[in-house]
A and B are shown apart, each in its own frame.
Chain A
């Protein structure tokens, strides 16, 4: 069975603070893929990143960075110097080569206050 856990339901920070959103996953498959999506208040789901299980290199994209650690089954997302526009619900998701579907975590609502 595949499962994604985002233990942080809500996080509130003040602008310019760094914030890390946790994601822990479970799968029996050796080939799998991890994703992060952003859902701003306007409601659409925006793709942020895709990672496969063979690539444990961390990734940085501007103020966003991702830390993939197979040893702890985690794929955490850090926003550096947060901004009000980062306020959104962030979803971590998992799919595997064997399955057609994508399993989403429950989401973490991030509020960045000015």
Chain B
């Protein structure tokens, strides 16, 4: 059974389009995250939700909007896609919020904006 799953795995789209990435975890965790990994492999947190509430909102363009319908799901919607949004996006979850908890990552979604 996949612990943290993301769909789609690959996403190729044109500039200006709107797209969504879905994430689900079946670990029973309370906290979920979105990370962006750029072409140099640098990982940076974007958002974190604890029990459907936003707890981390890093400096990310307003075009990115996370949505958590329940604590097992955290989706990422991106409006008006730009070339610079091309990256790998990782979803992760941890048992609780607060530092120190191990985060378990999904397989990643490679977004390519043409």
Chain A residues packing against B (C-beta within 8 Å) = 31-33, 35, 37, 39, 43-47, 50, 52, 89, 91, 95-102, 104, 106-107, 109
Report, as a range, how many residues of chain B touch the other chain: 20 to 34
By CB atoms of chain A within 10 A, which of B43, B88, B92 has the most? B43
Question: Nearest Cβ distance between residue A24 and chain B, in whole angstroms?
Answer: 17
User: In the complex, what residues of A have CB within 8 A of residue B104's CB?
Assistant: 47
User: In the complex, what residues of A have CB within 8 A of residue B58's CB?
Assistant: 101
Residue on B nearest A99 in the bound complex, by CB: B99
Chain B residues packing against A (C-beta within 8 Å) = 31, 40-45, 48, 50, 55-56, 58, 88, 90, 92, 97-108, 110
A102 touches B45 (CB 8 A): yes
Residue on B nearest A91 in the bound complex, by CB: B43
A33 touches B99 (CB 8 A): yes
How many angstroms from the CA of A89 to the CA of B98 in the assembled complex? Answer: 26
How many angstroms from the CA of A47 to the CA of B27 in the assembled complex? Answer: 15
